[in-house]
Amino acid sequence: MGNVDTEAKISAKAQAVKSVKLGRFSFRRPVLLAPMSGVTDLPFRRIVVGFGADLVVTEMVASESFQKGDAEMALRSAGEGLSPHVVQLAGSEAHWMGEAARMAEANGADIIDINMGCPARRVTTGWSGAALMRDLDHAMTLVEATLAAVNVPVTLKMRLGWDKSSINAPELARRAESAGVQMITVHGRTRDQFYEGRADWSAIRAVRDVISVPLIANGDVSGFEDADAILDASGADGLMIGRGACGRPWLPAAVSRYLANGQRWAGPELSELVSLVVRHHAALVDHYGPVKGVLAARKHLGWYLDAYRDRLGGVMAGGDEAEFTRMRSELLRASDPNAIAEIIPAIFTLLSRSAGLSGASSEADQLRAAHCASAGKTTATELAEGDAACQTGRAA
């Protein structure tokens, strides 16, 4: 009865929600993947969209470097196969923001997002990111230049302010809306908090009170209850998930479906999860090349393991803890893509068996099948060629 009541309440809320429109795109209570440097590259965004996320945003793209042809910035801005394709630009000078926005649109961007929220010292020391909130007049020159350069919608992401003595997100949001920005995202911390403590979701409501364009609330959303709480506290039209999606790329889509119908999805079953992890690793190798791709994948592999272990309750039986630690170290130090793809099914099998899941005796066969299926879908590691596990039926 409780679940029925909860779903009925969520359904009533969903019916009362207004649509969020950005150009030719329309969403009901959207759940976005936050831009995260070193995380939201094209392979990750494709996976998140594959689960059904509403919107995903590129890593932060430095406007001047991008406009001058920097290869890394070009790679960050890539969005082949994604619609809508959202490119986030950062910078400190209006000229370069305008030129970079024009270039991103020409390259296929459907939406341009302006970064005024990054707290990293390497960004703010150059008067980019959250540092722009220290001088709103200057910040608005970047907004105006970006708007003037493109025909696609422009959005803006910010923090509450630089520090607790300068909470000026409402003023910046109001001025940005007046200039033509079509959506505002606010992270519920000041810059000087970085990611410490808890995001103040209720403080975002002050922005809601002064703008009529869609408002997206961001900060510390890691599950369904958080989604309800941040929307209720902030009055926002949607929410953005960042670190909560690390190791759980299905989370934005799962939260979106939850907000629509009250259904909670914990994520893929084990065999599907292993196939996903293998494919993600291979996609990163394709995207960056074998050396950089393996390095880029390590953090994701660690996140996947941590998330799955947490999902199983975190406790391991007997000597499995030591074996898991050994295998995890081997996985995250390995440099050969083929070796990594074989360790992945084995370590997830260990976690599953240690948790005492039903059907664990056949888990190796299921994971081998997932591994072999993935092998046929990637060219990065050439897993299908000479893979003894797939050829002989031996568990990978």
Q: Which of 118, 246, 372, 390 is catalytic?
A: 118
H/E run at residue 370: helix 363-375
What is the identity of the amino acid at 158? Answer: M
What is the identity of the amino acid at 60? Answer: M
CA 325 to CA 336: how far, in whole Å?
A: 19
CA 28 to CA 240: how far, in whole Å?
A: 14
Q: Determine contact, residues 169/140, Cβ cutoff 8 Å.
A: no
Q: Determine contact, residues 190/163, Cβ cutoff 8 Å.
A: yes
393 three-class SS: coil
CA 298 to CA 331: how far, in whole Å?
A: 8
129 three-class SS: helix
Q: Which of 333, 326, 256, 338 is nearest to 301 (CA)?
A: 333
Tell me the two tokens of residue 70. 């920097």
CA 12 to CA 185: how far, in whole Å?
A: 25
CA 217 to CA 231: how far, in whole Å?
A: 7
* Those residues with Cβ within 8 angstroms of residue 331's Cβ, 6 or more apart along the chain or in another chain: 301, 305, 340, 343, 344, 347
Alpha carbon 289 to chain centroid, angstroms = 22
CA 256 to CA 27: how far, in whole Å?
A: 10
Question: How many other CB atoms are found less than 10 A from the CB of residue 328?
Answer: 18
Beta partners for residue 22, in sequence order: 25
* Those residues with Cβ within 8 angstroms of residue 292's Cβ, 6 or more apart along the chain or in another chain: none
Buried/exposed code over 83-111 (b: 16+ C-beta within 10 A; e: otherwise): ebbbbbbbbbbbebbbbbbbbbbeeebbb
Alpha carbon 364 to chain centroid, angstroms = 30
Beta partners for residue 159, in sequence order: 187
246 is catalytic: no
Catalytic site residues? 118
